Structure 1
Amino acid sequence: MEFSALMIRSFLAAGLLAAACSSPSAPDPAATETATATHAYTARYHDSARALSALETLSSDDFEGRLTGEPGNLKAREWIIDQLQARGVDPLLDGGFEAPFETASLSEGREGVSGTNLLAIINDEPGAPVIVMSAHYDHVGMGEDGIYNGADDNASGVAALLEAISWFQQNAPETTLVFAFFDAEEMGIAGSAAFVHDLPEQIGDRLAFNLNLDMVSRADKGEIFAVGTYHYPELVPLIDAVAAETPLTLSKGHDSPEWGNQDWSTLSDHAPFLRAGVPIIYLGVEDHADYHKVTDTFDKVDPNTFARSVDTVLLVAEAIDEHVASDAE
């Protein structure tokens, strides 16, 4: 890695000081878009080739759209477990990474679908506050028009979450981090709802934050949104400070009634946490023409943009880790 967590935290500390003293102007999205499109980007905090390969693999036809309860979803689950084992990360539960649950589908009249969340943990210190970083690995399967590969939705979030595991294994967090690969998000956000409803005993009353990743690769305008500051305004200085350092434009919004049907507060796996009173930040891009279509494929992902996005995710994650740890002191 080119930079250490200490360097990241030094940058963020300077940004927080600046945010406290002034109201920094947001980066120009048009300028960011031009830079993203025309200049190669060298990832600072992750292995960009590995992340891109993970995105490509998980969004390939081999996984048949990853619909919960179908063979492609099981194959995706096994692939993610292989990735976790290769990284040497510990499972949250004594029995392994898998946390099965039962859900009822909201589509096509399918009921009683069995789903499986995958849960890993880093730095399980007694009494330490717990941050859950999450991304859903399921998608909507196949239809008459082909396979819904779900490259952006949400192979991208899974790939970024795997890189977060690698980062925090090399740069120990100040909190306890749980990495949740949720199933059945496309079936009514069922996997995360099951997790929050029946919190694993190991977490108990320590749950302090959720950082959710859903659709993080198609920042076609050079912009990604941090959703949640409307509900938790104390997070505004944190996001503003991180935004001063991120290689993508990190914007606030999509989390209040004024956004209408583009209020994303309850539209992904952060929703059950929010409803339970757990602070959240959701990172995601705005909808694009390929959203929930068979055209949401790997070839639409710009490698430089995705590398910028994953670095942005890691900067946000480091800042939230420091923020939660400081609040617990």
Structure 2
Amino acid sequence: MKWLCYSFCLFLALPVAAQNSVDSLQLMKDVRTLSADKMEGRKTGTRGSRMAQFYLLDRFKKIGLSAYHDTYEYPFYFQEGEKKIMGTNLYGYIPGKLSTVIVISAHYDHLGISQKNAADTVFNGADDNASGIGGLLAMATYFKKHPPRYTLIFAAFDGEEEGLQGAKAFVAQPPVPLTQIRQNINMDMIAHNDKNELYVCGTFQFPDLKKYVDDIAATSSVKLIAGHDNPDSGSQDWTSQSDQGEFFKQKIPFLYFGVEDHPDYHRLSDEYSRINHSFYYRSVQTILELVKKLDSDLPENKYSGAKTM
């Protein structure tokens, strides 16, 4: 009952345009399920990863995403030392009025099981990155009910923790020509912040995107901050630190959403109980509003004057 009352109050606090866009109960269920101990940390090439895939395949089907080549599954291989590992990306799409594409992405893999002899051995990865996948599924659900202008590809990447392997596989063998992709929206760690701050990275490289970010930030219930994308900021430049980096290498415009590192980052303590439920819900809602804005207002032609690597 407390959760229902809390959800109702949160609902009332949102702008009218944002209400009813995201199912908060389903959002939390997705994160809770993917970060459960039984998923064994979702490390690429493991049983836990395959269990996460089964869950996501079922969600894709229930949402009603279309599949390229009659499958959502796209396996790829990479080397880790002398070991050859198979990863699996999952792609579904919603056709739009335009054949031009916006790719909405998040990685579902994490770090697996700790080799230390401890009471807790599972790297659950609730924020990193069950949260991003939860956001992806929420957006797929919304746009299935509200047909988009752009064709939207929903890409659940594997192997991000192994060096962006899933994103590399996507750009190497994309389901549509790369020239058809107008924009990437990537989500990685969007559920854990005590300052109500959500960063959006990409407006430094693609300044034409700043006006869309500013429009949403003006009414957002989270502090949407453009930053962490200046190459002069060293390790604080997030441009290539998640899957959006591979799109940037192909000169595809991107916006990456994430929070700054917190004490649970890449630790066993990154569990469902540690995420900020209200912040997470508002983060997903904010990102969705920005995607809706881009879908309706973004010109189909590529940007001019983009700053490259």
Structure 1, residues 200-232: CA drift from partner, whole Å, max 9, x if none? 2x4453111100000011132101011001111
**Contact preservation (8 Å) 2:41, 2:113:** yes
Report the RMSD for the aligned CA atoms in angstroms. 1.8
2:99 equivalent among 123, 128, 133 = 128
**Aligned equivalents of 1:257, 1:195: Cα separation in 2:** 25
Q: Report what 2:210 is aligned to.
A: 236
**Structure 2 residue 186 is matched with structure 1 residue 173:** no
**Which structure exhibits the higher relative contact order, with contacts defined as CA atoms closer than 8 Å and separated by 6 or more residues?**
1
Aligned counterpart in structure 2 of residue 320 of structure 1, from 294, 297, 306:
294
- Contact in 1 for aligned 2:87/2:159 (Cα 8 Å): yes
The 2-side partners of 1:98 and 1:66 are apart by 16
Tell me the distance in 2 between the aligned counterparts of 1:216 and 1:87: 22
CA contact (8 A) 1:135 1:154 kept: yes
In 2: Cα distance, 1:242 partner to 1:322 partner: 13
Q: Distance in 2 between matches of 1:232 and 1:250?
A: 17
Tell me the residue number matched to 1:309: 283
- What letter is aligned with 1:54? D
- TM-score, length-normalised on structure 1? 0.83
Within-5 A mapping of 1:1-329: 40-42=9-11, 44=19, 45-91=21-67, 93-105=68-80, 109=81, 111-123=83-95, 128-143=99-114, 144=116, 145=118, 146-200=121-175, 202-203=176-177, 205-325=179-299, 327=301
Deviations 1:254-302 (A, max 9, x none): 0012322111000000001001100000000111000000000000112
The answer on whether the counterparts of 1:154 and 1:214 sit within 8 Å (CA) in structure 2 is yes
Deviation at 1:310, TM superposition (A): 1.1
Q: How many percent of aligned residue pairs carry the same amino acid? A: 36
Question: Match of 1:41, as an amino acid?
Answer: L
Counterpart AA for 1:162: L
Structure 1: segments with no counterpart, 5+ residues:
1-36
Q: For structure 1, which segment, 176-185 or 217-226, has the greater mean C-alpha deviation from structure 2 after superposition?
A: 217-226
Unaligned runs of 5+ in 2: 1-5, 303-309
**1:82–1:252 distance in 2 versus 1, CA, 3 Å:** same
Distance change (3 Å), C-alpha of 1:74 and 1:241: same
Q: Aligned pair in 2 of structure 1 residues 130, 276: CA closer, same or farther (>3 Å)? A: same
1:208/1:324 contact within 8 Å kept: no
- Give the SS at the match of 1:120: strand
Relative to structure 1, the CA distance from residue 137 to residue 110 in structure 2 (aligned partners, 3 Å threshold; closer, same or farther) is farther
> Alpha carbons of 1:110 and 1:217: their partners in 2 closer, same or farther (altered >3 Å)?
farther
State the Cα deviation string for residues 3-59 of structure 1 (Å, max 9, x = none): xxxxxxxxxxxxxxxxxxxxxxxxxxxxxxxxxx9x951262200011011101100
Q: Structure 1's 176 and 325: CA in aligned 2 closer, same or farther, altered over 3 A?
A: farther
Distance 1:304 1:173 in 2: 27
SS at match of 1:94: helix
